Amino acid sequence: MLVKWIRCVVVDRRGFERGQRKWAGLLGEPGFRGQGGGWSRQRPDVAHVFGFWESRAFYDSFMARSHDRLAAAQSGTYRGMQAKLFDHLFDLKTGFEPRFTDTDVVRVAHCKVRAERAEHFTLMQQKVWNPAMAGSPGMVRGFFGEAPGDEFLVLSMWLSAAERGKYQVDRVERLSLRAQTETDIEAIDGDIVRLEPTWTV
């Protein structure tokens, strides 16, 4: 599976949201698995969208055929768009599905990892972070993906911001030390995204 993560600064909120609903046209596209997104809790003008595809071939085919027609509805409503593709390496918890209807919040962490530490970082994600998150009552499901250049995406879906907050307060610092995260990571950025139900496809 492939995830496309899009982040942009919205300048016309109403127009952007109207255009976002047009992405319902993705339904029926070969290889399309689901899409959802919402607004940053930290920066109200930043929107995040996560689109899931069966494979790179299906995604490339969509981009060549239908993408521009669907994207036209949002033209001029945002600036500074960043889009990145990540290949699925493994699930956080089990049985990841690109469903957004039973969660309120997505935590996205984008990590640039030192090349010589990429293997260790991936192993720590499996052995330290994954079990800790999976054991947290409010965590529903998640996705760990990789892009060329030792970039990784950790996407976790939560019942609520409050549930995610409990996990963060309890454990992040301790887990970070155990996983030697600071040694592995060159740079990290991320966000907490409040999902908009009308954006779900």
Secondary structure (DSSP) of the chain: -EEEEEEEEES-HHHHHHHHHGGGGGTT-TTEEEEEEEEESS-TTEEEEEEEES-HHHHHHHHHHTHHHHHGGGTTSEEEEEEEEEEEEEEESS------TT-SEEEEEEEEE-GGGHHHHHHHIIIIIHHHHHTSTTEEEEEEEEETTTEEEEEEEES-HHHHHHHHHHHHHHHHHHHTHHHHEEEEEEEEEEE-GGG--
- pLDDT per position as a tens digit, 106-125: 999 999 999 999 999 999 99
Q: What's at 79, amino acid-wise? A: R
pTM of the model: 0.94
Check residue 169 and give its pLDDT. Answer: 65
**Rounded to whole angstroms, how far apart are CA atoms 129 and 163?**
16
Q: Are 201 and 100 in contact (CB under 8 A)?
A: no
Check residue 164 and give its pLDDT. Answer: 82
**Rounded to whole angstroms, how far apart are CA atoms 12 and 80?**
13
**Rounded to whole angstroms, how far apart are CA atoms 6 and 80?**
10
Q: Which two tokens stand for residue 45?
A: 């003008």
Ranges under pLDDT 70 in the chain: 169-170
Check residue 139 and give its pLDDT. Answer: 92
Domain 2-199 class in CATH: alpha beta
